[in-house]
Amino acid sequence: MNRASRILLTGVLGLAVAGGAHAQDDTIEFGWTAWSDAEFVTKLAARLINDRTDYTAELVQTDIAPQYQGLETGDIDAMMMAWLPATHEDYYEEVAAGIENLGVIYNGARLGWAVPTYIPEDQLDSLADLSNEEVRSELDGTITGIDPGAGLTALSEEALETYGLDDYMLQTSSGAGMTAALERAVNRDDWIVVTGWSPHWKFGAYDLRYLEDPEGALGGPERVHVLARAGFDASYPEISAMLTRMYLPIDQLQNYMFQARETSYDEAISAYIEENPDRVNYWLTGEI
């Protein structure tokens, strides 16, 4: 996505937040995209801010590109879903000099293309296997993806070129659209390849495996960072410190994401706070 397109999307974001992030000094606006990991950690932080501090957290749902631009312009205060060093590299490099990086919220994240385990490994084990005509026919020449503006989508488009998969279409929609297509396929034992990432609740709901990526087209291990607009730490030192201390082991996060899928994010967040009081207290106070 070019810079002009990002600025246009930022205009949409500006309308969504109705006047920008600083309409009220005690209100902190978080950008987020409807990915299950981002939804859990962002709503968890918002719950703690709303219930345990004197500030108010508001959530602004939008695409990835306008979140980065919104941080640069100050239209939003923070986001908790920056995949670095590779997935969001282009977005981050454009704004890094003018924003604040509050640190890593979880390690061990990864991207890839995933398939149900009932698909035989001797037929489809690697992205390179997708060039086989019989495999392409089983998949109807389709890779099921997520948001058009997502870093994973850009990397997936590059992977199609890297592996010479000109006969395939990357079908974009949303995270929810991807998982709905996966559920339909699993219920019918149909073949499907989905763009995926960890952590994600789908790995708890279904038996899946990542395809091997011998060319490394989809990148390696990632860390997910919390980013804030310039001046955020000076404006909200208590909240900045809390967000800096927030860290979740990825296996723990994925378990609660699956719980959120089975119940609701509100219930899973309540359970997390109740079941991890020492960790939550450390985030809020810095006291061990």
Q: What is the mean pLDDT of the chain?
A: 90
CA 183 to CA 44: how far, in whole Å?
27
Share of the chain above pLDDT 70, in %: 92
221-226-228-231 Cα dihedral, nearest 10 degrees:
-110
- % the chain with pLDDT above 90: 79
User: Of 32, 52, 50, nearest to 41 (Cα)?
Assistant: 32
Q: Which residue has the tokens 């967040």?
A: 269
Residue 37 near residue 224 (C-beta atoms within 8 A)? yes
Given the structure tokens 């070019």, which residue do they identify? 2
- Beta bridge mates, 79: 31, 227
Report yes or no on whether pTM surpasses 0.95: no
Tokens for 157? 């488009």
Q: What is the mean pLDDT of residues 171-185?
A: 94
pLDDT digits (tens, 9 = 90+) for 213-225: 999 999 888 999 9
Backbone region of residue 169 per phi and psi (left: phi > 0; alpha: psi in -120 to 50; beta: other values): beta
| pLDDT tier for residue 203 given thresholds of 50, 70 and 90 | confident
Q: List, in sequence order, the alpha helices (H) in 53-129.
A: 64-73, 89-95
**Separation of alpha carbons 73 and 14, rounded Å:** 10
